[in-house]
Every structure is written in C-alpha cells, then in structure tokens.
Amino acid sequence: MAVTAEDFGPTIALDGARKARGNLTQNRIRWMVLALVLGFGLVGGRLVQLGMVVPDSTIEGQARDVITATRPPILDRNGLEMAVDIRVPSLFAEPRRIIDVEEAVRKLRTVLPDLDETWLRNRLTGEQGFVWVQRELSPAIQDQVMRLGIPGIDFITESKRFYPGMTEASHILGATNIDNQGIAGIEKHMDGENVALLQDLGLARGNALAPVDLSVDMRVQHIMHEQLLDAMTRYQAIAAAGVMMDIYTGEIIALASLPDFNPNEPATALVKDSFNRITSGIFEPGSIFKTVTMAGALDSGLVRITDQFDARFGIRFGRFTIDDFHGKHRILSLPEVYKYSSNIGTIRVMQAMGKDAFRAFLTTVGFDQRVPFELPEMRLPTVPKELSEVGAATASFGHGLSVSPLHMVTAYAAFVNGGNYIAPTLYKRDVAEAEALYRRVLQPSTSESIRYLMRLNALEGSGSQMNKEALGYRVGGKTGTAEKVVDGRYSSSKVTNFFASAFPLDNPRYAMVIMVDEPKAESVTTGTTAGWNAGMVTGRIVQRVAPMLGIAPDFSEILDRNLVPPALR
C-alpha cells in the first residue's frame, strides 16, 4: 500500500505548534534571566555606589562625640554642686530623607510655632545629611514631635550646663555656650586646662569626668551676695562687689560682683556694667592704699611705729595744696596718721621712706602686673613706672593709680599673714602647698604692726561702725573713699567706697575687700563715706559668716591689748 502525503498532514502540524511553544518558553526564560541579571547588576552597582559614599556622621560640621560631650561637675569646698550637666534632647533633620517637605514644615510648626516657616522650609530642603532644627528642647516637646511621625526628623541627646545657685556665683563660674564650651569664668579656664581636649578626644562622655573642687564656700558666697544686694538697695548704689580670701592658702572663699547675671541664661551677662569688678575692674583705691604705704615704710626700717609726723599744714606742690579731709592740724604719731586717715601724715611717711623705695615696694607687692589667678576676666593695673614728687604723694594715699580689688585683698592677706605674698586661687589648696609658693614681702614684725593699726582703726577710727556690726569677731581694716573723675575733674558727689579688712585679728585667717559704688546716705544721720556703707557691709558679713568658719566672738579687751606693739605699751 502506498503512503501518501495526506497520511502525515496532521502530524506535521502538531510538531510545528510544539516547537513554537518551545521556542516561546525559551525566549521567556532568556528574558527572565536577562531581567534577573540586570536587576542584580543594578542592585550590585547601587551597593558598590553606597559602599563608596563616606557616611556623614556630623551635624553641620560638629562630630557626634563633641555634641554629646559632657563637662565635669563643679563643687564648692564642702561638696555642694555649683555646676552640673543635664541631658536635653535636640531636634535635627536629614533633608535628603524627607519625602514631603511642605507636610514636614506644616506639622513641625504645630508643635514649634516660633520657627519661621521660610527658614524651616529652607532647612528641610536639599541633599544635606544632618541639620539642626532646634536645640535644647524639653522632653514634652520631644514627645510631641515624635508623635508627628515625620521621616527624616530625629533627636540627639546633648549636655547642657545647669547652675543650681543661679546668679550667686556667676562671676566665678562664668558660662558655657550652646555647644557646652566655656566662654567665661572658671568654665573657660577649665577648657584651657584639659576639658576641651578631653571633649575633642571623645573621652568626655557620661559621668567619666572627675568633679572639680573649688575653694569657694557657697554658704559664705550666699551671705556675701545677699549683703551686696542689700547694699545696692540700702545705699542706692550703682554697683557693689566683694571678695574674701584665706590669708594662708590664698584660697578664694567668696567672690561676688553686682550687677551680675544668670549663667543659665548667658544672654543676661549683656546687662550694662555687669562685668566682674573684683578682677577686671580697676579703681583708684583711696585710703585703703594707706596701709600699703605704712607697710612699705615700716618694713624699710626708715620709719618706726613710734615716729611722729608734722600734719599741721597742707603740703604744697606748685599751685596745688594737699590737705586732710578732717584735718587735726597738729603733730601726729604714726598710729594717729592711720587712725585719722591723714593724707598729710601719709605723705610724710612715704617721704621718710623715699619715693623711689615706695615705688619699688609697689612692684614687690605686685601692683604693676596682673594678679596670677584662674579667671580670664582680668585687667592690668595702671601704676606709673616712675613717680614724680607729687605723683608719689598722691599715690601714697591711693590716688593717681588704679588697681583691682583682687590686688588689694591679696596685698592685705600678705600684710597680716606674717608678710608672705601668696597668689589667690579658686582651687582647693592646703597650707603646705601654699607655703611652697610663698614670696616674702614683709618682715613678720611689720606684719604685726599692720595688724595693730588695722584693729586700732576699727576700735577708734573710721572702722568703728564696722566694728559695731561685727559683734565681737575682732575685725580690723581701713576705709577708702575715692572721688570719681567726672569731666576731667574729681567729683565730691560721686565716689567709690572700699573697706579692706582681716579677721579675727588676734589670730587672722581671712582678708576681705568690699566695694560700694556711688552710694547715697542711708539716712539723714549717716554719711556717704566708706565707713557708713562698705564698712558696715563688712561688719554684717563677718557677723554672719564667722560662726560658719569656726570663729567665736570674744569681747575681751586683752585680745586687743595683745596686738599693741611692745614699743607702744
């Protein structure tokens, strides 16, 4: 039987369809493989690209370690916290991760309405890695922002400085900026020592930094600050300041200057005249400088405590005559010159010493250089390198030169501690450490004479009002009423008043200088000279702080008699 082509027709058709389907399947597989290869290629390329990108770990140029760095706590000499770090949230954005900028702006302003809309929109737009939106927020605000659920918005925890004492020790502590870096006071000094370095190295995190112990006693600081505030009101003064120092160690126990500021709000430091008058203010010291003249003259050996000086007439220099404020116009003994604060007698004392020797003594006590001290807010005193006859005369009673109250308290400390100059410090220092730094400026016998003169002035001279306020704590010191220069002339109505003191003078331990600027009379029965204001502030402070410092009152006259030099008994 013959085989015809018709017999195979359907079979050929079936084979062609199967082959066509097979080809289609193969093509699909090829496309799938190609798609997978392309997909993996894109993913791989992206991964390579991402791997080559340097991650941005900073926020507007600041490393995270620096942002989160802490500062060491600052404690007073009794362990009371004066400055601590607290943790606060700060809001930042990653603009390149924000999907809808307009929506983010609208939502954020519902919680932070003070943010300027245009400013915020610009902040959130672009390809920047991290930008600040607002720093140092409260936890409540942080919670509200987190509830908004905006992609690309997050928080970082920063350290913020907090000062529990508010204004009380502001001029000691200074302040920090928003980056927790010291910008004034001991905070700035600490950065210069080692805190800034530790922060840069990322070692200042958490509670790793040891506390910094200051010499300040916050109990005494509180009393001094309170009494200076009272003086501002009581005497309608434009400013008041005070400093107390341990005469053997140089430790500053208290230091305050008003007007002051709240270091928790550094912008308040911009208040007019809120500078630190104790360290960066220089003033004509007035008659508290007579103690310097007496110390130098007695120590020279050319003047004795038993000497007498002619104060019957004013001293003439060319067209000018220098006279006494309340002149006795008679021969005065040296203690009387001091007690009556005689300008004439003090000039005679200086002249007996010699003006060149007097000028050299000013250098010995450090009056022509900055006091070595931790606070950066310091000014150079203005003391002429050479003194003319009239320049030496006026300088002997505290005119024609300007020094800081810190200079004066440091000098007074040396005058009553046996004659050893010790630089003041805000850090704790024991007597043994201090003794290694002593520089002798007076003989011990001269120091004893100065103690006697200071106590004499409290009992019988211009310090008597102070002595009444001090209630038996045996304070001694010298008043200083310095007329201000107004329009090139000394003004009798505008004065800067000082009282420089030490206590207890039978066994001295502390020196103090109080300043009241442009005081008014408290009542019609009082005056504006230093004894009525700076002196009385001193007495009130001593009566409050002496018990805290372990000093007992004693009205026994034998203590004062023991201060009288043998030559005068």
User: What mean pLDDT comes out for the span 37-48?
Assistant: 71
E-state strands within 47-106? 58-59, 62-63, 74-75, 81-93
| Angle, in degrees to the nearest 10, between helices 355-364 and 389-396 | 50
Cα distance between residue 459 and residue 475, in whole Å: 9
Q: What is the pLDDT of residue 26?
A: 79
Residues 6+ apart with CB under 8 A from 236: 519, 520
Predicted pLDDT at 179: 85
195, pLDDT greater than 70: no
Look at residue 39 in the predicted model and tell me its pLDDT: 76
pLDDT of residue 487: 80
Describe the crossing of helices 290-300 and 405-416 by its angle, rounded to 10 degrees.
Answer: 40
- The string over 331-349, giving b where at least 16 C-beta atoms fall within 10 Å of a residue's C-beta and e elsewhere, is ebebbbbbbbbbbbbbbbb
Q: State the chain's mean pLDDT as an integer.
A: 90
* Distance separating alpha carbons of residues 421 and 403, to the nearest angstrom: 17
The pLDDT of residue 276 is: 96
Average pLDDT of the residues in 346-358: 97
Residue pair 498/477 in contact by the 8 Å Cβ criterion = no
- Do residues 375 and 302 make contact, with C-beta atoms less than 8 angstroms apart? no
pLDDT in the model for residue 2: 46
Nearest Cα to 477, choosing from 301, 286, 275?
A: 286
pLDDT tier at 50, thresholds 50, 70, 90? very low
pLDDT digits (tens, 9 = 90+) for 253-267: 999 999 999 999 888
Q: Provide DSSP, 461-517.
A: STTHHHHHHHTTS--EEEEEEEEEEETTEEEEEEEEEEEEEEE-TTS--EEEEEEEE
pLDDT above 80 for 491: yes
Strand pairing report for 74-75 and 81-93:
antiparallel
Query: Domains of the chain by range and CATH?
Result: 74-213 (3.90.1310.10), 221-568 (3.40.710.10)
- Say yes or no to pLDDT of 391 above 90: yes
Give residue 272's pLDDT band: very low, low, confident or very high (50, 70, 90).
confident
Q: Report whether the peptide linkage leading into residue 553 is cis, meaning its omega lies within 30 degrees of zero.
A: no
Q: How far is CA 110 from CA 103, 106, 146, in A?
A: 11, 7, 12
Cβ–Cβ contacts within 10 Å for residue 193, how many? 12
**114-118, 239-243, 342-346, 508-512: segment of lowest average pLDDT:** 114-118
Alpha helix stretches (DSSP H) within 354-443? 355-364, 389-396, 405-416, 431-435
The stretch 177-199 carries a mean pLDDT of 83
Across residues 190-202, what is the average pLDDT? 69
| pLDDT given for residue 506 in this prediction | 95
Q: Is 134 exposed, middle or buried (0-12, 13-18, 19+ CB in 10 A)?
A: middle
Q: Which residues of 379-408 are buried (b: 16+ CB within 10 A; e: fewer)?
A: eebebeeebeebbbbbbbbbbbbbbbbbbb
Q: What is the mean predicted confidence (pLDDT) over 495-520?
A: 97
Which of the four pLDDT bands, split at 50, 70 and 90, describes residue 330?
very high
Q: Which two tokens stand for residue 500?
A: 């420089």
Check whether 55 has a pLDDT greater than 70. Answer: no
Report the C-alpha gap between 441 and 448 in whole angstroms.
13
pLDDT (0 to 100) of residue 5: 47
The region of weakest confidence among 51-60, 217-226, 341-350 is 51-60
pLDDT for residue 87 is more than 80 = yes
Q: What is residue 248's DSSP assignment?
A: T
CA distance 307 to 338: 12
* pLDDT for res 488: 81
Better-predicted residue by pLDDT, 290 or 180: 290
Band the pLDDT of 402: cuts 50, 70, 90: very high
Length of the chain measured in residues: 569
Give the span between the Cα atoms of 195 and 184, in whole angstroms: 14
CA 145 to chain centre: 37
> What is the band of 15 on the pLDDT scale with cuts at 50, 70, 90?
low
Which residue(s) pair with 439 in the sheet? Answer: 421
The residues, ordered by sequence, that sit 6+ positions from 327 with a Cβ below 8 Å of its Cβ are 311, 314, 342, 344
The rounded percent of the chain whose pLDDT value lies above 90 is 70
The most confident of 16-30, 50-64, 84-98, 228-242, by mean pLDDT? 228-242
- Mean pLDDT, rounded, for 342-362: 97
**CA pair distance 219, 447, nearest whole angstrom:** 30
pLDDT at residue 349 greater than cutoff 70: yes
